[in-house]
A and B are shown apart, each in its own frame.
Chain A
């Protein structure tokens, strides 16, 4: 059901549609301004968290190298459990003697 308000609204829409907003002045050199902004964004320094994220593969390589190095160059453990315990006991006894206990 259309009423007077609908007609008034349609008039307003028609008036607004008839108006073609002149943006010619703003469109001048728009591409130049836009590309300048894009270049500026490109050259902006990378934030630290983005840098940290990008460095993640490098961190992973370092961690892997440390892990491999630890297993490769670690001193071989003695299979003689008693020797290991007695060695520790000797050390404890000598340190106790030196400090006078």
Chain B
């Protein structure tokens, strides 16, 4: 987070943006871009898609800022916009599961010094593969709760789903992931 940007409150920046101050918007983006990039990176396939998702998030913020009410923290609103945009990106590529393949050659270990790092990388690749087999809703909920560490309440707020719905979807997603990982281990 940029120190200079963090000194100015969100309310001040938002007020300035509403008067057409693009520099204030750039400051607001600079303040929160790391948070948005971190979240979007969990869903994006590559750097191009990541950049695209992040740009879409902030364009939506820019366009809908006039309707933003200051009764809730800006960061919560931004997270909701980011989650929705990531969800849209997931839904727009439903055929991804047919294209993603686990490349076993990627897991060949070059030497012992790299063993631990490669194991961690292998774990991440397996999870990435397994997540790509889930439905957009399942992937969204499991990513927010298990990887981003959001609570059920926070996930419900970010997705506009009920808490009961979040719990059910998280349970289903976990069961689906377990099946996929077990299938992978059997191979």
Are the CB atoms of A26 and B124 closer together than 8 Å? no
CA of A11 to CA of B178 in the docked complex: distance in angstroms?
A: 12
Chain A residues with CB below 8 A from B51, complex form: 26, 30, 33
Are the CB atoms of B59 and A12 closer together than 8 Å? no
CA of A30 to CA of B182 in the docked complex: distance in angstroms?
A: 40
Are the CB atoms of B58 and A15 closer together than 8 Å? no
Are the CB atoms of A31 and B30 closer together than 8 Å? yes
Are the CB atoms of A8 and B47 closer together than 8 Å? no
Are the CB atoms of A20 and B38 closer together than 8 Å? yes
Does A5 count as interface, using CB distance less than 8 angstroms? yes
Interface size on B, residues (CB 8 A): 35
- Residue from B34, B59, B185 in contact with A8 in the complex, judged by beta carbons closer than 8 Å: B185
Chain A residues with CB below 8 A from B149, complex form: 17
Are the CB atoms of B182 and A38 closer together than 8 Å? no
- Given A16-B124, A26-B37, A9:B30 Cβ within 8 A: no
Does B54 count as interface, using CB distance less than 8 angstroms? yes
List which B47-70 residues lie within 8 A (CB) of chain A.
Answer: 47, 50-51, 54-55, 58-59, 62
Are the CB atoms of B123 and A16 closer together than 8 Å? yes
Chain B residues with CB below 8 A from A34, complex form: 26, 29, 55, 58-59
| A-B interface, 4 closest residue pairs, ranked by CB to CB distance from nearest | A15-B123, A23-B37, A21-B41, A31-B26
